């Protein structure tokens, strides 16, 4: 049914001079006018429900506007039409109260059924905990050791128009959520700071992530593929920059991936014992800084006056090391926007980023922080 609708708009689109910052060969689906059909049963049912109501509305619209345009055409003074004087009819009023009510009941039946389906989170094969942070997502595979953060990976240069934009501009992350297909996956959704909302249109899952409370949702993906979504609840400055990417793979591939993840986590833990040179730490620190800190403190370390303090010349970054370790690892006591990074970053990354902050942006402390220092600091607490 929708085909004709789509074609109409394709035509409309072609007739307009299309402008875009995207290179022509890129396969971005432009002029999309409708909800995706989705890759889960719930998504497809939702899509059908949406189309059903849409067509009912179209039918009512055609009828009502039809009468209206007919009278605007025929019953105008310029055509000499004399006004009738009728102005009341209880029968008619009753008819157009009852018929819409019946239509509404007919709509409510499938809607109620779908809703029950969506709310049935029982008997899941796999539980994934999703935590929204300003402005990234954390995924924990419950019952395994694996957990990680998923950050926007679109380079700042693309956002600031210094580089051409890639096809998945703003919809790409450093580490996607990997899930098996054909399994019932339960999502436990919460947030660490403000309210976020986890939304992937292809799964028809949208649930608010609320600090202090855990919401449930579920999905069963039928086809392998990469599905993209975004945070849907205004959550501060970079609300538009915390996408969601799901990679759905066959079960064997998923099991292998999970095993690999657990192994590499162990490897990173090992690195904690290693001693790094200043240059190694500084280089790694810059990467970590741009991923974890730059959103607020800015890439140039100058912060945003009145909102986010500067790192350049800051009392903490150029003061005693312990204070610096404390605020990065445990977060700020006074400003909730400064999160506790102790659990978010590895010891190596923490050491690197603190070294970086103390020696970049004109800060010249000259000291290096080793991963073991971080571990010792954490153990002291």
Q: Which of residues 72-91 bind another protein (CB under 8 A)?
A: 72, 75-78, 81-89
Q: Please report whether residue 28 would count as binding another protein according to CB under 8 A.
A: yes
Tell me which of 155, 224, 240, 303 binds another protein, using CB under 8 A.
240
Q: Which stretch binds another protein (CB under 8 A): 244-252, 271-279, 300-308, 367-375?
A: 300-308
Q: How far is the CB of 251 from another protein (least distance, A)?
A: 27
Task: Provide the 8-state DSSP code for 308.
Answer: B
The two three-digit tokens of residue 249, written as one number:
């793979």
Tell me which of 10, 14, 20, 273 binds another protein, using CB under 8 A.
20
Q: How far is the CB of 88 from another protein (least distance, A)?
A: 6
Q: How far apart are CA 159 and CA 350, in angstroms?
A: 26
**Using CB under 8 A, which residues numbered 164 to 193 contact another protein?**
165, 167-171, 193
The order of strands in the sheet holding 243-249 is 177-180, 243-249, 225-231, 196-200, 205-209
**Using CB under 8 A, which residues numbered 42 to 61 contact another protein?**
45-46, 49-50, 53-54, 57, 60-61
Q: If binding means CB under 8 A, how many residues of this protein chain bind another protein? A: 109
Q: How far is the CB of 260 from another protein (least distance, A)?
A: 30
Residue 217 or 370 having the CB closest to another protein:
217
Q: How far apart are CA 346 and CA 248, in angstroms?
A: 27
Q: Please report whether residue 101 would count as binding another protein according to CB under 8 A.
A: yes
Tell me which of 237, 247, 302, 378 binds another protein, using CB under 8 A.
237
296-297-300 Cα angle (round to 5): 130
What b/e sequence results for 280-316 when a residue is b if at least 16 CB atoms lie within 10 Å of its CB, and e otherwise?
ebbebbbebbbbbbbbbbbeebebeeeebbbbbebeb
- The backbone region for 127, taken as left when phi is positive above 0, alpha when psi lies in -120 to 50, beta otherwise, is beta
Q: What are phi and psi of 155, to 5 degrees?
A: -65, 145
How distant, in Å, are the alpha carbons of 87, 94, 169 from that of 172?
A: 60, 54, 7
9-69-92 Cα angle (round to 5): 120
Residue 85 or 379 having the CB closest to another protein:
85
Q: How far apart are CA 360 and CA 312, in angstroms?
A: 8
Give the pairing type, strands 136-141 and 126-133: antiparallel
Q: Please report whether residue 226 would count as binding another protein according to CB under 8 A.
A: no
Q: Please report whether residue 300 would count as binding another protein according to CB under 8 A.
A: no
Q: Please report whether residue 37 would count as binding another protein according to CB under 8 A.
A: no
**Using CB under 8 A, which residues numbered 327 to 366 contact another protein?**
336-337
Q: Please report whether residue 257 would count as binding another protein according to CB under 8 A.
A: no
Q: How far apart are CA 175 and CA 243, in angstroms?
A: 11
**Using CB under 8 A, which residues numbered 116 to 175 contact another protein?**
116, 118-119, 134, 158-161, 165, 167-171
Tell me which of 239, 247, 269, 302 binds another protein, using CB under 8 A.
239
Tell me which of 93, 174, 322, 343 binds another protein, using CB under 8 A.
93
């Amino acid at each position: 049914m929708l085909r004709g609708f789509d074609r109409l708009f394709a035509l409309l689109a072609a007739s307009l001079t299309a402008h875009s910052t995207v290179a022509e060969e890129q396969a971005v689906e432009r002029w999309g006018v409708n909800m995706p059909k989705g890759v889960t049963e719930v998504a497809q049912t939702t899509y059908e429900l949406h189309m059903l109501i849409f067509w009912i509305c179209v039918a009512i619209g055609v009828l009502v506007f039809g009468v209206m345009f007919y009278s605007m055409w025929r019953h105008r003074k310029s055509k000499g039409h004399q006004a009738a004087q009728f102005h009341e009819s209880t029968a008619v009023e009753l008819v157009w109260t009852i018929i819409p009510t019946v239509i509404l009941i007919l709509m409510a039946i499938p809607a109620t059924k779908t809703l029950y389906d969506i709310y049935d989170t029982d008997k899941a094969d796999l539980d994934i905990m999703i935590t929204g942070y300003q402005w990234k997502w954390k995924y924990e595979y419950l019952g395994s050791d694996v957990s990680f953060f998923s950050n926007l990976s679109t380079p700042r240069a693309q956002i600031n128009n210094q580089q051409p934009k890639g096809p998945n501009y703003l919809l790409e992350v450093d580490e996607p959520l990997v899930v098996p297909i054909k399994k019932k996956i339960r999502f436990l959704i919460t947030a660490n700071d403000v309210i976020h909302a986890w939304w992937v249109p292809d799964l028809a899952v949208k649930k608010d992530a609320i600090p202090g409370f855990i919401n449930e949702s579920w999905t069963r993906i039928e086809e392998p593929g990469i599905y993209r979504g975004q945070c849907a609840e205004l959550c501060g400055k970079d609300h538009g920059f915390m996408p969601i990417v799901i990679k759905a793979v066959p079960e064997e591939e998923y099991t292998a991936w999970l095993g690999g993840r657990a192994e590499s986590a162990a490897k990173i833990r090992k690195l904690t014992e290693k001693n790094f040179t200043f240059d190694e730490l500084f280089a790694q620190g810059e990467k970590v800084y741009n991923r974890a800190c730059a959103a607020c403190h800015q890439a140039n370390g100058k912060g945003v006056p009145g909102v986010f303090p500067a790192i350049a010349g800051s009392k903490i970054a150029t003061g005693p090391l312990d204070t610096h370790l404390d605020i990065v690892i445990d977060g700020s006591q006074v400003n909730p926007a400064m999160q506790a990074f102790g659990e978010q970053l590895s010891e190596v990354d923490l050491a690197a980023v603190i070294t970086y902050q103390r020696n970049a942006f004109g800060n010249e402390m000259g000291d290096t922080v080793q991963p073991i220092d971080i571990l010792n600091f954490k153990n002291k607490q």
